[in-house]
Structure 1
Amino acid sequence: MDLQKMVIDLRPENVSFRDAFYQLLRKDLGAKPLGLDLSYTLILGDFVGSDLGLRTPLYAQAIAPIFTATEQKELERLRFVCLESLTNSKDCRSLLGTQSTPSSEIAVFRGVLTLMQTRFNGEMKFSNTFFLQSVDAQGATFLQSTNWAETRFGRPVSFSGAKFKQPSNFQGSIFFDKANFKQTQFQELADFQGSIFEKTANFNQATFKQLAKFNSGQWQENADFSDVHFANQAQFTKANFNQFLLLTEATFEQAVTFREVEFNLLVNLQGASILNQADFSDARFSTEACLSVPGLTFNSNQAKILGNPGQIGKMFCIPTLQGNENILRNLGQNFRQQQQVADANELEYTKQQLRLVEMSRRLTATNINSASVASLINLGFSATQAEAIAQRRLIKLFRNSSELLTLADIDLEKYTQLSERLIVGEPLSIVGWLLQAWSCLGLSVLLLLSGYGTNFWLVFGVGGVAIAYFGLLFWLVDRYRRLHPVPIIPTSYETISIFVSFSVLEFLSLLAIFRNAQQPWLTLGCLLIIIVPVPMALLIRLYQQGRYHDLMDVSYFTEDGTFRQLRLLIGRLPVIPRNETFRERYMPLLCDRRWNWLNYYDFSLNNLVKLGFNDIRLRDEHLPGIISALAWYQWSLGLIYITLVLWTLSRTIPGLNLLIYLK
C-alpha cells in the first residue's frame, strides 16, 4: 500500500478520519500479506501501528489459519527464542503456559513496513508486534515518544539516520535478523533493556544524548558501537555478548556500566575515549575475551576504570608498546590510586613483556638503514627493490618502515609480507648490540623469576627451590666424603630424612612457581641455568680429585653456640672470621645428632635470604677451596635474591608501595 509523500492527520479533532483510516488499513493488511509504504509522509497525531496487525495467539495450535506455512514458521521462531533465552518478557512467559489468554496474543504485521524519511509529529506505538518482513525507517523523524516494547523483528530492520527526539522504548524486543541503527540520533532516553539481537547489531556512529539502557541485553553475534557518542550514562549491566563487542572510537562522556556482563570474545576499545568512569565490576570474561585498548584516551586524574581487584588488570590486551606507553601508564596509575596494586602490577608486567618483544626484535630484525643489499635480498626483497632501498637511504635515512611504500618498486603486498621482520633506527655498533642483548637478557630473567617484581609468591617459589637444592648439596659435600679406606658417609636415617625433606620443599616451591608463573617451564629452566651448572661442576671436580686433609672426621660447618634464635644476618659472611675470639664461639656441627641435617638448610637459608635460626658458617682451616667456592657462589646469589625480594615486596604490598602516591 503506497502512502508516500502524504500528510495524514490522526489528531483527536479528526477522529472520524482516524477511525476510518485504521479500519481500512486493518482490513486490507489483515487479509493479504501487503506491505505499507509511508516514506516521505508527515503523520500528525499519534500513530498506533500495532492496531494495524492481525492479532493471533502464539500457540501453534491456535495460530490463525490465514497465515501461510512460511508465516507460521516465522511465528514459531519466537517460541524457540523465548525458550532458549529464558527471558522474562510478558510474551515469553505466556508461551510457557498451557492455555491461550489475551495477554498471550501478538499483533502480526505481515508485509514490509517502509518509513524512509517519514516524520511523526505524535507518539509512535508499535508495541507487542511481530514484523514478519523487514522494517525500513531510514532517516525517519520521531518528534514524540516511540514505543517498540516487546516487538519482534523477523527480518532486517533499519533505523539508519533516524532521529528520536523523545524517549524511545525497545524494551524486551527481539531482532531475529540484522538490526541497523547506524548514525541514529537518540535525543532522549533510549531503552533497550532485555532486548535480544540474534544477528549483528550495528549502532555505528549513533548518538545518545541522554541515558542509554542496554541492561540484560543479549547479542548473539557482533555488537558494533564503533564511533558512537554517549553524552550521558550508558548501562550494559548483566548483558551477554557472545561475539565481538566493538567500541572502536566510541566516546563515553559520562559513566558507562558493564557490571555482571558476560564477554565471550574480544571487547575492542581501540581509540575509544573514557572521560568519566567505566565499571567492569563482577564482569565475566571467557578465556578468549579481553579488553583491547590500543590508543584508548583515558586520563587517570579525571576518569576511572573499575573492576574486581586482582582480575581486571589481567583483562587488558595491547599488541605493541609503541604508541601505547601513555595508556599503560594511565591505567597503572588508575589502579594504584584505587590501591589495586595487583592490577597495576599486572599492567606493568604487560608493559615489560611488550618492551622485551621490542628489544628482541631490535636485536634480530633487519634494520633497513644498515642492512646490506644481500641481507635485504635474503629477507625477501627482489634485487631491484633492495637496490632502491640502498639508494634511498644514501639520500636520507628511513624514519619508519612505512616510508618503504614511497618507493616505486615496493608495493603494499611486499610491505605487508615483510614489515614484521623490519626495524628502523640508528645502526647498532658491536658494543651497542652487546649492551642491548645484556639488557634483554636481564629483563627476561626479571620477568621469568619475579614477573618483573609483581609476584611475591613466584619469588618465594624460586627461593624455595634454590634453598632446598643448595641445602642438599652442602649436606652431600659435608656428610658423604669417601668410601675408602674408612667410609665417611651418613646414616640411613639421615639420608632418608634429607631426601624426604628435600622432596617436600621442592614440591611446595614448584607448586608456587607453576601456580604463579606465566610460563612456568621457562621460569624453571631459567632458574636451573643459574643454580645448576656452576655447583655441579664444582661438585664433580671435588669428588674427582678427592679430599686429603686433616680433620676429615669433623664437619666443615660451624655454628655460633652462644644463642639460638631467628635473626637477620645481613652482614654475615659464609666463613668464620680469623679472630681467635670468634673461633672459640663457633663450634663444629655435631654430626651424630638426629636433627643435624636441618642445619644444612639453615646454612642455605643464611646464604640466600640472610635470615636464619643459627649463625652457621664454614670453618677456615682444612677446608677444600671448592667447598668454599660453592658457599660463596650461593652467598653471591643471595645478594641478588634478597634485592629481588625487597623490590618485589615494595611493589606488591600496598603499605610499602611508594608508587601508589605518584600521580
Structure 2
Amino acid sequence: MGSDLGLRTPLYAQAIAPIFTKTEQEQLERLRLVCLQSLAVSLPNSKDCQSLLGTQPTVAGDVTVFRGALTLEQTRFNGEVTFVNTFFLQSVNAKNATFLQPTNWHESRFSRPVNFNNASFRQACNFQDSVFFDKANFKQTQFQETANFQRISFENVANFNEAQFKQLAKFGGVQWQDNADFSGVRFANQAQFTRASFNQSLSLVETTFEQAVIFREALFNRPVDLRGASILNQADFSDAIFSSASFLNVPGLTFNSNQAKILGNPGQIGQMFDIPTLQGNQNVLRNLGQNFRQQQQVADANQLEYTKQQLRLKELSKRLIGTNINSALVASLVKLGFSPTQANVIDQRRQIKAFRNSSELLSLADIDLEIYNKLSDRLVVAEPLSLGSWLLEAWLWLALSVLLLLSGYGTNFWLVFGVGGVAIAYFGLVFWLVDRARRLRPVPIIPTYYETVSVLISFSCLEFFSLLAIFQNAEQPLLTLGCILIIIVPVPVTLLTRLYQQGRYHDLINVSYFTEDGTFRQLRLLIGRLPVIPRNPTFRERYMPLLSDRHWNWLNYYDFSLNNLVRLGFNDIRLRDEHLPGIIATLAWYQWSLGVLYITLVLWTLSRTIPGLNLLIYLK
C-alpha cells in the first residue's frame, strides 16, 4: 500500500491552478524554492523538481498528493509500504507504527509536521531525496536495517533523539536548515554524513558511535555538541568545512585513543575542539592529544596541549583571586553577590561541614539556581591556601603565563623565533650604543652618521620581521610583546641610565670593549661560550679589539647579541677582561643568562614541533 491511496496529478505550473487551493499552491511554491536552492549543490534529480523548474509538461512530472492528514498511529504494516514521489499537504502521524517489510518514501514531500515517534522499521527504509518542510520527529525510532536519508532537505527541526540505528545509517548530502538533534542516539553500525550541510547546531549529546561515523566534506555553520558522546571506532572529519561560528564541543567525550581514532585535516581539526573547563576533562584532552600524535599530526596535538594549559592557567587564576566559599568572610560573600541571608546560611553550613564542590550550594534552601548560575564561575571550592602555598601558586601562574605568551607552551616555533628576533635586535642596538656612544666632552666619542643610519635601518628591519612573526602566530600578540618588553627593557635601561650618569673614566677609553677571535671567521655553534674572555695574556693576544673604522663593524654587535642569546654566530665575539666597566659586564651577563633560558625554550619547542622527535618523547 502507499501512493495508490492518494491523488495522482501532473505537477507543472499550468496544471496546478485548477486542482489545488490557494494555500496548497503556496505549499507547492515552497517546493519550487527548495528545488532552486538545490541547484547550488547539484542538478535536482527528482521528477517534481525537474517539472517545476522546466517549462514543458512531462509525464514524468506526475506526483501523488495527499490533501488530508495521514494518520498511521500504532498501525502494523505486514507488507511493503510505498509512498514514492508523494506530496503530503497535511501532517503525517505514524507514532508507534510498526513496519515489518521495507518502506519506500523516496522523493516524498512533507508539508506539515511528521511524527514517527517510537516507530519501528524492521526492514530497510528509504527516505532518499525527500523534503521535510516542517518538523520531523523520529524520536526513539527503531531502525533495524539500513536507513537511507541521503540528499534529504530538512527545512525545520529534525529530531532523532534516542533513536536506534542497528545497521548502516545514510545521511550523505542532507541539507539541515534548522537544528538537528541526535542526542542519545545509538549507532550500532556505520553512520555516514558525507557532504551534509548543517546550517544550525548539531546535537550529539550522549550519542554512541559503535562503528565509524563519517563527516567527510561536511559543512558546519554552527557548533557541534558532542558532550558525553562515545566514539568507539572512528570519527572522520576529513575535508570538513568549519565556519567561524562552529566548533566541536567535547566535554565528557568518551574516547580511547588506543582503540578509536578521530581523523581530520592536519593543522585544522585540533583548533575545532572546545572544552570549557579542565576539571573532569583531563582524560579527554590526553586521549585527543595522543590520538593526533599517533597520526603524526603534531600541530593538532600541540593545539590541544595549548588548550589544556590555557584551562590550567584559568584554574590557577581562579584559585588565586576567586572567592573560596570555605574561607571567605561573610562580607566578601555579600560583596560577591549573595544576599546577607544567603551568606549567613553558607557560613553556618561550612562550619558544620566544608563544601566539596560548588554544586552543594544548591542543597541550601536559600540558594536558588539563578544566583548559582550567576556566581558559580567566580567561586572556588578548596582548602584555604597558606601564604606559602599562595606564593607557590602565584609563581606557577606567572611561569605558565610566560610560557603561553612566548611559545604557546612550546607548541609554536615561529612565535619563539619572533621573540628571539626582538631580543637579538634590541640587545644588538644596546651594545652598539654602549660601545660607540661613550661621551660628548671633552673629546666626543660617538658613531659616524653612516654607522648610525646603518644600525637604525638594520634594527628596524629585524624588529619588523620579528614582530610580523609574533603577530601572525601569537594568540594575544600585544600581551606577548608586553611580556617581552618587561623582560628585556627595565634592566638594560636602568644600567644604561646609571652608566651615562656616572660617566666613563678608565684606560683604553678609545678602544672597543668588544674583542673578536682573530684566528678565523666562520659560522659556529658556541655552546659553552661565556661573554667575557678569560684573564690570561694568551687570550688577549688571540682576541683583538673590534675596528671602529670599518664600514661593516656595526654588524659585530648583532653577532655578539646572537652569540649571547642562541650560542650561534659568525665569529666568537666577547668583552675584553681589563678596563671594563662593571655595568657593561653586567649587561652582557644579563643577556647571556636570558640566553640560557631562551635556548632551553627553543630546544623544548623543537622537541614538541618536530614530528619524529615529538613521537619519541611523548608516545608511551
- Would the TM-score normalized by the shorter structure come out above 0.5? yes
Q: Is 1:475 paired with 2:464?
A: no
Question: Equivalents in 1 of 2:337, 2:183: separation in Å?
Answer: 37
Say whether residues 1:126 and 2:83 are aligned partners: yes
Q: Deviations over 1:369-426 (max 9, x none)?
A: 1112222222222333222222222222111112222223323333222222211111
Aligned-partner Cα distance in 1 for 2:615–2:124: 49
Paired residues of 2:250 and 2:273 also in contact (CA < 8 A): yes
Aligned match of 2:357: 400
1:431-467 superposed Cα distances (whole Å, 9 cap, x missing partner): 1111101100100000010000001111001001110
1:443 aligns with 2:396: no
**Structure-2 residue corresponding to 1:174:** 131
- The alpha-carbon deviation at position 186 of structure 1 amounts to 0.5
Q: Is the 8 A contact 2:358 2:380 kept in 1?
A: yes
What whole-Å deviation, never above 9, does each CA across 1:283-325 have from its counterpart, x for those lacking one? 0101111100000000111100001111111100000000000
Distance 1:74 1:376 in 2: 58
Aligned to 1:495: 452
Q: Name the aligned partner's letter for residue 467 of structure 2.
A: L
Check the 8 A contact 1:313/1:344 in 2, yes or no. yes
Quick one: which of 351, 362, 366 aligns to 2:323?
Answer: 366
Where 2:63 maps in the other structure, the secondary structure is: strand
Amino acid at match of 2:533: I
- 1:553 aligns with 510
Runs of 4+ in 1 over 4 A off after TM superposition: 658-661
Identify the residue that residue 69 of structure 1 maps to in structure 2. 22
User: Which of 324-333 and 82-91 deviates more?
Assistant: 82-91
In 1, are the aligned partners of 2:204 and 2:226 still within 8 Å (CA)? yes
Q: Residue deviations 1:35-61, cap 9 Å, x none? A: xxxxxxxxxxxx1x2223333333322
**8 Å CA contact 1:205, 1:227 repeated in 2:** yes
Tell me, yes or no, if the aligned pair for 1:305 and 1:334 is still in contact at 8 Å. yes
Aligned to 2:192: 235
- Structure 2 CA distance, aligned partners of 1:661 and 1:324? 19
Distance 2:551 2:8 in 1: 92
**Residues 660 and 534 (structure 1 numbering): CA distance in 2 closer, same or farther, change over 3 Å?**
closer
For 1:301 and 1:519, the matched residues in 2 are separated by: 35
Distance 1:508 1:535 in 2: 23
CA contact (8 A) 1:456 1:645 kept: yes
In structure 2, C-alpha distance between the alignment counterparts of 1:122 and 1:572, rounded to whole Å: 88
* Structure-1 separation of matches of 2:412 and 2:451: 35
Number of the residue aligned with 1:463: 420
- Describe how 1:240-389 pairs up with structure 2 within 5 A: 240-389=197-346
Please point out which of 41, 46, 49 is paired with 1:90: 46
- CA shift, 1:169, in A, is 0.4
Mapped partners of 2:522, 2:233: distance in 1: 55
Do the aligned partners of 1:603 and 1:612 also contact (CA within 8 Å) in 2? yes
Question: What is the aligned partner in structure 2 of residue 27 from structure 1?
Answer: none
> How far off its partner does 1:661 sit?
5.6
> What amino acid does structure 1 have at the position aligned with 2:32?
R
SS in 2 for 1:656: helix
Counterparts of residues 532-571 of structure 1 (less than 5 Å) = 532-571=489-528
Matches for 1:133-144 after TM superposition, within 5 Å: 133-144=90-101
CA distance in 1, matches of 2:185, 2:409: 38
The 1-side partners of 2:497 and 2:535 are apart by 29
- Match of 2:355, SS? coil
Taking the aligned partners of 2:191 and 2:170, their CA distance within structure 1 comes to 6
Instruction: Name the residue aligned to 1:514.
Output: 471
SS in 2 for 1:56: strand
**Which residue pairs with 2:13 in the alignment?**
60
User: Structure 1, residues 343-379: CA drift from partner, whole Å, max 9, x if none?
Assistant: 1111000000000000000001111111122222222
Code of the residue aligned with 1:456 in structure 2: it is F
Q: CA deviation at 1:542?
A: 1.8
Structure 1 vs Structure 2: percent identity of aligned residues? 78
Q: Which moved more, 1:617-626 or 1:373-382?
A: 373-382
Per-residue Cα deviation, 1:118-155 (whole angstroms, up to 9, x for no partner):
11111110011111111111111111111111111111
Structure 1 residue identity aligned to 2:345: A
- Report the counterpart of residue 32 of structure 2 in structure 1: 79
In structure 1, what is the Cα distance between the partners aligned to 2:234 and 2:615? Answer: 25
Q: Which residue of 2 aligns with 1:452?
A: 409
2:112 is matched by which residue type in structure 1? R
In structure 1, give the amino acid aligned to 2:126: N
Shift of 1:64: 4.9
Instruction: Report the Cα distance in structure 2 between the residues aligned to 1:588 and 1:461, rounded to whole angstroms.
Output: 31
Gaps of 5+ in 2: none
**AA matched with 1:138:** K
5 Å-filtered alignment, 1:198-237, equals 198-237=155-194
Give the Cα–Cα distance (whole angstroms) in 1 for the partners of residues 436 and 53 of structure 2: 79
1:89–1:150 Cα contact (<8 Å) kept: no
Give 1:539 shift.
Answer: 1.6
Contact 2:294 2:615 in 1 (8 A): no
Report how far residue 63 of structure 1 moved.
1.5
User: How many angstroms does 1:659 deviate by?
Assistant: 5.5
Q: Is the counterpart of residue 111 in structure 1 residue 71 in structure 2?
A: no
- Say whether the 8 Å CA contact 1:337–1:661 is kept in structure 2: no
Q: Does the 8 Å CA contact 1:575/1:618 hold for their aligned counterparts?
A: yes
Tell me if the contact between 1:169 and 1:190 (Cα under 8 Å) persists in the aligned partners: yes
Maintained 8 Å contact 1:56/1:64: no
Distance 2:599 2:340 in 1: 55
Is the deviation greater in 477-486 or in 583-592? Answer: 477-486
- Number of aligned residue pairs: 616
Q: Answer yes or no: is the 8 Å Cα contact 1:290–1:315 preserved in 2.
A: yes
Q: Which residue of 1 aligns with 2:551?
A: 594
Tell me, yes or no, if structure 1 residue 649 matches structure 2 residue 602. no
What is the rounded CA distance, in whole Å, between the counterparts of 2:426 and 2:202 in structure 1? 50
Secondary structure of 1:657 counterpart = helix
Counterparts of 1:288 and 1:651, CA distance in 2:
29
Cα drift, residue 545 of structure 1: 2.1
Q: Helix, strand or coil for the counterpart of 1:295?
A: coil
CA displacement 1:608-635 (0-9 Å, x = unmatched): 0011110000112222221111111110
Q: Could you say what secondary structure the match of 1:74 adopts? A: helix
Q: Distance in 2 between matches of 1:331 and 1:319?
A: 15
Taking structure 1 as the reference length, what is the TM-score of the superposition? Answer: 0.91
User: Per-residue CA shift, 1:161-191, capped at 9, x if unaligned?
Assistant: 1100111000001111110000001000000
- Bigger CA drift: 314-323 or 409-418? 409-418
Distance 2:274 2:361 in 1: 29
- SS in structure 2 of the partner of residue 444 of structure 1: helix
Give the Å deviation of 1:117. Answer: 0.7
Find the aligned partners of 2:5 and 2:365 in 1 and give their Cα distance. 64
Q: Give me the whole-angstrom Cα distance separating, in 2, the residues matched to 1:67 and 1:417.
A: 54
Partner of 1:287, secondary structure, is coil
Kept after mapping to 2: 8 A contact 1:113/1:133: yes
Deviates more, 1:61-70 or 1:187-196: 61-70
Deviation of 1:552 (Å): 1.8
CA–CA distance in 1 between the matches of 2:259 and 2:462? Answer: 48
CA distance in 2: counterparts of 1:528 and 1:659, whole angstroms = 35
